[in-house]
Amino acid sequence: MKLLRYGPEGQEKPGLLDDAGAIRDLSGHVADIADDVLTPDGLARLAALDVDSLPVVDGSPRLGACVGNVRKFVAIGLNYADHAAESGMPVPSEPVVFNKWTSCIVGPNDDVVIPKGSTKTDWEVELGIVIGKPARSVSQAEALEHVAGYCVVNDVSEREWQLERGVSWDKGKGFDTFGPIGPWMVTRDEVPDPRNLGMWLEVDGKRYQDGSTKTMIFGVEELVAYCSKLMTLMPGDVITTGTPPGVGMGQDPKVFLKGGEVIRLGIDGLGEQTQKVRKA
């Protein structure tokens, strides 16, 4: 299934993308794509619905973040060896874990807003993992049982705040609008090999990132198991798993967003995002 949320900001309704590409309204069955709806039992109930009987949503409504009530937005840094190299940093021996504040989460096609005074706002296409079953100190062998599905994430980053103003990456990663998620969450059964997904990102039509999850250092099982030792992962929590090379910081000369650009990004089978960039 491809599950989504649509409608004005703060008033999103739950929906499902059918095989013809139409949005079907799920609000007669669930209140949101969140919490217990993302558990194995919750997803099984949605999978049992007759899709053709669900109301079709007219037009092209705004899409919100594909998951609601995200408690934790956990991010993994330097998880692609070639991106670590372009960043001038060593390949990590364990996952580099930081936070993106949940207040940064926006819809997949909402504007990205450059913070006041920023001169180093950057982009990162990433595979997002959506947790569906509480996970506390789980093994790698158990980890996938706790995954509801996957989505596209743009891990927008302000490099000065991330790297030059103290040692906390969190500061540069959680500005408002820095977490576009979606367009939909694709359930785990439809992504048999999350380590074999092409991923790309363009700015104003120029392709900067063109990679694959094949080159991740730590895979989905490893990351879920590792993070579950640091915290209890809950349904709706999102782990964004790192980016391939091609970020603005890695260009020669460096390229950062100034406002007015259009970012397009996508991952095979998980859909695409488009964001206009504007100054605060």
Question: Do 20 and 77 fall within a single domain?
Answer: no
Question: Do 134 and 98 fall within a single domain?
Answer: yes
Question: Do 158 and 33 fall within a single domain?
Answer: no
6-10 CB contacts, 8 Å cutoff, 24+ apart: 6/57, 6/61, 6/62, 6/63, 6/64, 7/61, 7/62, 7/64, 8/62, 9/62, 9/64, 9/107, 9/110
Question: Do 84 and 49 fall within a single domain?
Answer: no
Question: Do 214 and 254 fall within a single domain?
Answer: yes
Give the residues of the chain that fall short of pLDDT 70: none
CATH number at residue 221: 3.90.850.10
Residues in the chain, how many? 280
Question: Do 166 and 117 fall within a single domain?
Answer: yes
Q: Is the torsion defined by CA of 119, 179, 271, 274 positive or negative? A: negative
Structure token pair of residue 162 = 């991330």
Reduce the secondary structure of 79-134 to three states and give it as a string: CEHHHHHHCCCCCCCCCEEEECCHHHEECCCCCEEECCCCCCEECCEEEEEEECCC
Expressed as residue numbers, the domain containing 49 is 2-53
- Rg over alpha carbons for the chain, rounded to the nearest Å, is 18
Question: Do 8 and 84 fall within a single domain?
Answer: no
Question: Do 121 and 250 fall within a single domain?
Answer: yes
pLDDT at 90: 82
pTM above 0.75, yes or no: yes
Question: Do 86 and 177 fall within a single domain?
Answer: yes
Q: Cα–Cα distance between 155 and 273 in angstroms, integer? A: 12
pLDDT at 129: 98
- For residue 85, tell me if it sits in a domain: yes
- For residue 64, tell me if it sits in a domain: no
pLDDT at 81: 82
- For residue 65, tell me if it sits in a domain: no
- For residue 218, tell me if it sits in a domain: yes
Structure token pair of residue 201 = 């990102």
Question: Do 77 and 183 fall within a single domain?
Answer: yes
When divided into structural domains, the chain yields a total of 2
Question: Do 191 and 115 fall within a single domain?
Answer: yes
Question: Do 148 and 237 fall within a single domain?
Answer: yes
- For residue 17, tell me if it sits in a domain: yes
Residue whose structure tokens are 């104003």? 204
Q: State whether residue 239 is helix, strand or coil.
A: strand
Residue type, 11: Q
